[in-house]
Amino acid sequence: MSDHVLVINAGSSSLKYSLVEARTGEAAASGLAERIGERQGRHLHRGPDGETETTRSIPGHEDALRLAIGAFESHGPSLDGLDLAAVGHRVVHGGSRFSASALIDDALVAEVTELVPLAPLHNPANLEGIRVARRLFPNLPQVAVFDTAFHQSLPPQAYTYAVPLAWLEDHGIRRYGFHGTSHAFVSQETARLLERDPAETNTIVLHLGNGCSASAVRGGRSVETSMGLTPLEGLVMGTRSGDLDPAIPAYLMREVGLSAEDIDLALNSASGLKGLAGENDFRELERLRASGDEHAGLAFDVYCHRIRKYVGAYYAVLETVDAVVFTAGVGEHSAEVRATSLNGLERLGICIDNDRNNEPATGARRISTDDSEVAVFVVPTNEEWQIAREALGVVLA
C-alpha cells in the first residue's frame, strides 16, 4: 500500500478531488467537475502534463467521478499503478457523534444521514460522494473526515447556548463549529513554525475565505470557535451575516412579513459583504473601496471590526496566546485586513511588522516584529493534505 489518498469533496453541484501523498502533502493531481446536473458541465483535471478542460453534460456525481477516473487514466498519474491507501471524504456535519475521522461503513452512512437536518445543503452532497466512491472503488477503505470533529473538544461552557436546556437535549441545539480540518492543519503548522510542541502552544486561528471562522486552540485542542449550530454564526463572511441579535428574525417575520425561508436565504446568501456592498468577492470589494465606494468602505470596516472583537474575546479565553494566524483566501492575501484587524494591540503583545505584512509572498510566514510577544503568522491552509493525513491515520490504526 502506498501513502496516496484520493481526497473527495462533493458539493451539491460539484465534485472536487485531489490525489495527495499523505506524508508530504504533495498533490500529484487534482480536479473539479462542476455544474453537475445542468445542461452544460465542466471538468478540469490538473496532472503531470498540465491542465485539461472539457465541457460536457455531467448528469450526476457518479458521472463526475467516472470523468475523474478517466482523466487519471488518460492524463495521469494512473490510479491502477498507485496502490491507493484510501479515499478520504470531506463531510461537513458530524454532530456530537464524531470527534475524529472514521472508517465509512453502512452504520456511519446511516448516522451521517440522520444529521442531514443540521446541514441540509452539505451532508446530502457529501453522502452522494461517499455512495458513488464506494461503488467505484469497492476495494478501498473510505474514510470520513468531518468539518466539525476538531471542535468536539469545546468545553460545555463554550458549546452551550443559554436557551431552554431541552433544546440541547432533545434537538441537539449547540455550537458545533466548522472548518475544523483547516483550524487543525493551521494550528499544527503554527506550532511547527514556532518550533514548539503543539500540546504547549496556544493559537488564535482566523480562517477568512468565502466562509469565515475563528477558533481558539489550546494545546492543540479547539476550545472555542465562532461558527455555531450552522456555519452562519460568527465573523462577517462573503454572503453570510455572522453574529446578529437573535430577535431580528422574529422581528422581520412579525413587522415585515418575511417568512422563515426568506430570512434564512437572506442571512446565508444576501448578507455579509454582499449585503452591505453588493459584492462578496474580496478582491472586487478592495477595488471598490480603493475607488472611494462608501458601501465597500463600510463593509470592510464591519468585517475587520468583527475580527478584532473575536481576537480580543479569544485572547481572554486562552489567557496566554503564542500566535495569531491568518489563513484562507482573504487571510492569506489581504495585508490590509490583517493590519486593520490587529493594529493598536501592542498592549496585548501583538505587534505587526508593516514591511513583512505587505510583502507579496505566498508561503507560510511571520508578519509580526521579532520582539512581538505574540507571533503573527500567515499560513496557507491545506485541507486536502489534512484529510489525506487523517484518512491514512485511520487506515493504519
Residues 80-99 that bind ligand ADP (CB under 6 A): none
The Cα 287–Cα 56 span in angstroms is: 34
**Please, what is the minimum distance in Å from the beta carbon of residue 383 to ligand ADP?**
8
Q: According to CB under 6 A, which one of 146, 282, 303, 385 is a site residue for ligand ADP?
A: 282
Q: Which grid cell is 88?
A: 478520504
Residue 283 as a binder of ligand ADP (CB under 6 A): the answer is yes
Q: Select 45 or 90, whichever has its Cβ closest to ligand ADP.
A: 90
**Please, what is the minimum distance in Å from the beta carbon of residue 299 to ligand ADP?**
12
**Please, what is the minimum distance in Å from the beta carbon of residue 178 to ligand ADP?**
11
Residue 281 as a binder of ligand ADP (CB under 6 A): the answer is yes
Q: Cβ atoms within 10 A of the Cβ of 280, count?
A: 21
373 three-state secondary structure? coil
x-or-dash string of contact with ligand ADP, 334-373, rule CB under 6 A: x---------------------------------------
The Cα 156–Cα 280 span in angstroms is: 34
Residue 268 as a binder of ligand ADP (CB under 6 A): the answer is no
* Catalytic-role residue among 3, 63, 147, 322: 147
The Cα 175–Cα 231 span in angstroms is: 10
Q: Is 245 a catalytic residue?
A: no
Q: Select 87 or 212, whichever has its Cβ closest to ligand ADP.
A: 212
Residue 303 as a binder of ligand ADP (CB under 6 A): the answer is no
Q: Which grid cell is 256?
A: 415585515
CA distances from 330 to 10, 246, 354 (A): 23, 27, 17
Within 13 Å and on the Cβ side, how many CA atoms surround 334? 24
Q: According to CB under 6 A, which one of 328, 352, 379, 395 is a site residue for ligand ADP?
A: 328
Residue 269 as a binder of ligand ADP (CB under 6 A): the answer is no
SS (H, E, C) 205-265: EEEECCCEEEEEEECCEEEEECCCCCCCCCCCCCCCCCCCCCCHHHHHHHHHCCCHHHHHH
Q: Select 337 or 391, whichever has its Cβ closest to ligand ADP.
A: 337
Q: Select 91 or 328, whichever has its Cβ closest to ligand ADP.
A: 328
Q: Select 91 or 108, whichever has its Cβ closest to ligand ADP.
A: 91
**Please, what is the minimum distance in Å from the beta carbon of residue 2 to ligand ADP?**
28
Q: Phi/psi at 146 (nearest 5 deg)?
A: -90, 140
**Please, what is the minimum distance in Å from the beta carbon of residue 157 to ligand ADP?**
29
Which residue is at the shortest CB distance from ligand ADP?
A: 329
Q: Select 253 or 302, whichever has its Cβ closest to ligand ADP.
A: 302
**Please, what is the minimum distance in Å from the beta carbon of residue 286 to ligand ADP?**
6
Characterise 272 by phi-psi region: left (phi > 0), alpha (psi -120 to 50), beta (else): left
- Contact call for residues 379 and 193 (beta carbons, < 8 A): yes
Instruction: Report the chain's terminal Cα–Cα distance, integer Å.
Output: 14
- Contact call for residues 112 and 127 (beta carbons, < 8 A): yes
Laid out side by side, the sheet with 221-225 consists of: 221-225, 212-218, 202-208, 323-327, 375-378, 365-366
Count residues binding ligand ADP (CB under 6 A).
Answer: 13
- Contact call for residues 168 and 112 (beta carbons, < 8 A): no
Residues 168-227 that bind ligand ADP (CB under 6 A): 209-211
Of 18-26, 146-154, 316-324, 327-335, which segment contacts ligand ADP by CB under 6 A? 327-335
Of 149-157, 217-225, 281-289, 294-302, which segment contacts ligand ADP by CB under 6 A? 281-289
Residues at the contact surface with ligand ADP, assessed by CB under 6 A = 209-211, 238, 281-283, 286, 328-330, 333-334
Instruction: Give catalytic residue positions.
Output: 147
